[in-house]
Structures are given as structure tokens and as C-alpha cells.
Amino acid sequence: MTFEKNILCIGAGYVGAPTMAMIAAKCPRYKVQVVDIDREKIKAWNSDQLPIYEPGLDELVKKTRGRNLFLSAEIERGIQECDIIFVSVNTPTKGFGQGAGKAADLQFWERTARQILENSAGDKIIVEKSTLPVRTAEAMERILNGNPKGIHFDVISNPEFLAEGSAVKDLESPDRVLIGSRETPEGVKARKAIVEIYANWVDRDRIIESNVWSSELSKLTANAFLAQRISSINSISALCEKTEADIDEIASAVGMDSRVGRHFLKASVGFGGSCFKKDILNLVYICEGYGLIEVAQYWEWVIRINEWQERRFILNMLANLFNTMAGKKIAILGFAFKADTGDTRESAAIYVTRGLIEEHAQIVISDPKALDNARKDLHDVVDRVAFEPDPYKAAEGAHALAILTEWGLYKELDYKRIFKSMVHPAFIFDGRNILDHKRLFDMGFNVFPIGKTPLKHF
């Protein structure tokens, strides 16, 4: 069968593989290949046990795999066969040298660009799917177009706005798709070729075209704004705890103002995930580079408030557990950075667990999807932590429960049964404000929500 377009994606992670599975599902006339250097991951993508958990992803992959979606480790062949190449490799925070701890580490991106160049015999469109610093396209153009073969590459920015936990839904009906290019005739032509792909299922008025720098910077800005809302509400949660105001009531009153909106106003133990922290640090680094120190500091505080909120949670536990957690069993319910994913990157649970271990608490971690990742995150302290998929068993003999992920199942647990199995007085620290606090208090628990007056029996 001849396909209308041959599309390649380099990087089969949380973004690359689901995005390509959606393109394959919506565009049966296109051949979509996904390649990765990680052979184990590719093996998993081709098996019944996909390497990541996302609601609806199994069905999407099953429907398309082998039909017009192909996942392999054959990067060079993929590059040779395709003329539109999405690059969705990881862009973590740089851990060394200049900009360590802030700048984006672009080594994976640059390596990929050079590999594309080596294996190309004709013109290609390269799509930045990874989140990148503003003006990365310029560097990529220099690397790619400085070739002696006379091949021309157009670099397009098409950042991904999906959220883990709802990736399939977000890909199927995105709020918007952003596609940026140079405003030259070739740039606009390349941009239109990418618009054409998404127009197969996304309403044309949701596909935004822009210049390439706006597109790159929009992604960093979107993540900065989302994280800023969380840090804003979390900062007020601390004030609520001092004044008997209730953070959920405030979020509801403030969010009903249509200029503010109600999303992302849920107070919690802090945000996690692979993107918010790294993207804001990257934004901070870029601003510093342009001498915009006040702007850099403004955004840096979004991260500092988040770290402070995580630390505050630990100190609150310590203060209320009679200033000692040494030898006490603490059950952590939820380790993923949010519900409906097994991803634990930068999860607040990592920070809280390590803080509790420093206090010599005995930790038991429960999570429906994230225990494998939790084991990896805590590999250096596994002798101090137990992992238990069953939340009831995790809670047995515990002095306190800490809810760190908003999994729906934690709202449905039989807390009477749990209360009976715990050491008394029994404590619940609800780091996601998802439980019925009054009901738990009436059962006998001492309850410590975020941004609300604690309910204590003493």
C-alpha cells in the first residue's frame, strides 16, 4: 500500500508515542513511524504491556499498531524513509557546566539533528515537538542547513500541550494546536504541511499559526502560567491555615470570576511532573541570559513557593506527630505526581518521602500504577521503605496516612476499617484535599488538610 505521507517521530516517550498513535488513528492514509534508542522501551511498545499508563492508550495503540503505526529502534532507516520528522526527545535540566540546574540540556536534540543530517538525501521538514528554549530553531537551522549536500531543512515548532493522565483525550480534542515557522515562503509552506496533518481531526479555528519564536516561547509561558496558579493558591493556603479561612471556599469564590477561571486552583502538597520545574528553570535561565533579572526572579519564586509548600507539609506532619516520627510507621497513599498516570518524575511524594526518612520514620508506599517508578526513584533508600499495592495493608499499624496523589480510589476506601487497623491516635494528612474531612474526624481521625483548619480530638 502506498501512503500519502511518511511521518517519523524520534523519541517514543510520554509525548512522542501517544501523539503519533493519535495521528495514525486519525490519518489512516499516512504511515507513521516512531523510533527510539531505548530498545527495551520499543519492545514494550510492541507488546501488551505498554511502557506507560494513560487512560485509553492501550486501545489507541492496538487499533493502529501494524496498520499504519510502526515502532522500532531503526532510527537511520526511519530518517531515510520520511520527509516529515517530529523530534520528541527529552530535554532535561542541564546537570553540569554553565547553566547547571537551570538551562535545558540540548545534547539529545543536537545529536538527533546531526543524525538526521547524516541520513538525509533530500529536503525535509523537522518539527520541534520537544519543549525547547526560545530561538532553538535558529541553532537547529544552522546545524542542519550548513550541509555541503545542498539539502534544505525547514524547522517548525509544534509544542505539545497534552497533560499526562488525560493525554489521549487532550490529543483527540486539543484546546489548540500551535504551529510556528519562519515567515519565508518555504517556512510557510512547511507550516501548512503540518497544519494539514492536524486538520484531519482538529477544527481549523483551533489550529494556530505563528512565527517560530512565539511558538517556542508560548510553550514555556503556558507551563509557567499553569505552575504559577498552583503556587499562587498554595501560598494562600498557608495564610488560610493561620486565619481559619478555607482554601477550597476561596478557590471557588475567586475562580468564579470569569477573568480568573476555575481551573488549576486546587491547593495541594505541591506540583510535580517532568515539565513545570524544568521549563520554568529554563525560562529563568533565558531571562537571566538577556539581563532580565527581575523577570527571572519573578518566575523563580513559583518554584521556590512549590519547594516551600512541600517542606511545610513535612514540618506540619512532624509538629503534629508530637515532634517525632522516629520509628513511626507512615503510610503514603499515592506516589505518582498526579492521578491517572504512573509517572513519578519530580513528584512531591519523592521529596516528602525523603524528608520523612530523614526523620527516621518507617515508610510504606502504596500506589495503583507508580510502584515500579517509586522503587527506581528511591533506589538508594529502598532498605528504609516498603512498597505495598494494597492500601489497607499499607495502613495497618500506621500512625499516620499521607495522601499525596489524588487517585479516585482513595476517596472510596473504607476508612472505618483503616482506622481500626491503625495505631491511635490516628492521623490523616490530606495533601490533595480530596477526602471528606468531617466524616473522617467523626470516625476518630485527626485530620490535617491543606489550607483549612485541622480537625483534632485534642
Residue among 9, 12, 106, 287 that touches ligand NAD (CB under 6 A): 12
Q: Is residue 16 part of the contact set for ligand NAD (CB under 6 A)?
A: yes
Residue closer to ligand NAD by CB (options 191, 338) is 338
CB of residue 349 vs ligand NAD: minimum separation in angstroms?
A: 17
CB of residue 92 vs ligand NAD: minimum separation in angstroms?
A: 8
Q: Which of residues 41-80 bind ligand NAD (CB under 6 A)?
A: 41, 75
Contact pattern for ligand NAD over residues 133 through 172, marking x by CB under 6 A: ---------------------------x-x-x--------
Residue closer to ligand NAD by CB (options 172, 388) is 172
Q: Which of 283, 275, 327, 348 is nearest to 135 (CA)?
A: 283
Q: Which of residues 313-352 bind ligand NAD (CB under 6 A)?
A: none
CB of residue 298 vs ligand NAD: minimum separation in angstroms?
A: 22
Residue closer to ligand NAD by CB (options 141, 170) is 170
Catalytic, out of 9, 27, 240, 275: 275
CB of residue 200 vs ligand NAD: minimum separation in angstroms?
A: 21
CB of residue 132 vs ligand NAD: minimum separation in angstroms?
A: 7
Residue among 7, 8, 9, 10 that touches ligand NAD (CB under 6 A): 10
Cα 443 from chain centre: 36
Sign, CA dihedral 394-400-402-408, equals: positive
Residue among 7, 13, 349, 410 that touches ligand NAD (CB under 6 A): 13
Residue among 33, 120, 130, 136 that touches ligand NAD (CB under 6 A): 130
Sign, CA dihedral 78-279-349-435, equals: negative
Residue among 37, 188, 208, 386 that touches ligand NAD (CB under 6 A): 37
Joined together, the cell numbers standing for residue 66 give 501494524
CB of residue 221 vs ligand NAD: minimum separation in angstroms?
A: 13
Residue closer to ligand NAD by CB (options 110, 246) is 110
Q: Which of residues 392-411 bind ligand NAD (CB under 6 A)?
A: none
SS3 letters across the chain = CCCCEEEEEECCCCCHHHHHHHHHHHCCCEEEEEECCCHHHHHHHCCCCCCCCCCCHHHHHHHHECCCEEEECCHHHHHHHCCEEEECCCCCECCCCCCCCCCECCHHHHHHHHHHHHCCCCCEEEEECCCCCCCHHHHHHHHHHCCCCCCCEEEEECCCCCCCCCHHHHHHCCCCEEEEECCCHHHHHHHHHHHHHHCCCCCHHHEEEEEHHHHHHHHHHHHHHHHHHHHHHHHHHHHHHHHCCCHHHHHHHHHCCCCCCCCCCCCCCCCCCCCHHHHHHHHHHHHHHCCCHHHHHHHHHHHHHHHHHHHHHHHHHHHHCCCCCCCCEEEEECCCCCCCCCCCCCCHHHHHHHHHHHCCCEEEEECCCCHHHHHHHCHHHHHHEEECCCHHHHHCCCCEEEECCCCHHHHCCCHHHHHHHCCCCCEEEECCCCCCHHHHHHHCCEEECCCCCCECCC
Could you confirm whether 275 is annotated as catalytic?
Answer: yes
CB of residue 140 vs ligand NAD: minimum separation in angstroms?
A: 14
Residue closer to ligand NAD by CB (options 206, 311) is 206
Residue among 29, 62, 63, 111 that touches ligand NAD (CB under 6 A): 111
Number of residues that bind ligand NAD (CB under 6 A): 26
- Ramachandran class of 140: left when φ > 0, alpha when ψ lies in -120 to 50, beta otherwise: alpha
CB of residue 211 vs ligand NAD: minimum separation in angstroms?
A: 20
Under 8 Å between Cβ of 396 and 421 = yes
Task: Choose the stretch contacting ligand NAD; rule: CB under 6 A; options: 7-15, 209-217, 253-261, 401-409.
Answer: 7-15
Residue closer to ligand NAD by CB (options 15, 401) is 15
Sign, CA dihedral 315-317-320-326, equals: negative
Residue closer to ligand NAD by CB (options 110, 396) is 110
What's the Rg (C-alpha) of the chain? 24
Residue among 90, 93, 232, 235 that touches ligand NAD (CB under 6 A): 90
Task: Choose the stretch contacting ligand NAD; rule: CB under 6 A; options: 8-16, 262-270, 363-371, 379-387.
Answer: 8-16
Q: Which of residues 243-262 bind ligand NAD (CB under 6 A)?
A: none
Residue among 7, 230, 265, 275 that touches ligand NAD (CB under 6 A): 275
Q: Which of residues 201-230 bind ligand NAD (CB under 6 A)?
A: none
Q: Strands 5-10 and 84-87, how do they pair?
A: parallel
Q: List, by residue number, the catalytic residues.
A: 275
Binding residues for ligand NAD (CB under 6 A):
10-16, 36-38, 41, 75, 88-91, 108, 111-112, 130-131, 160, 162, 164, 274-275
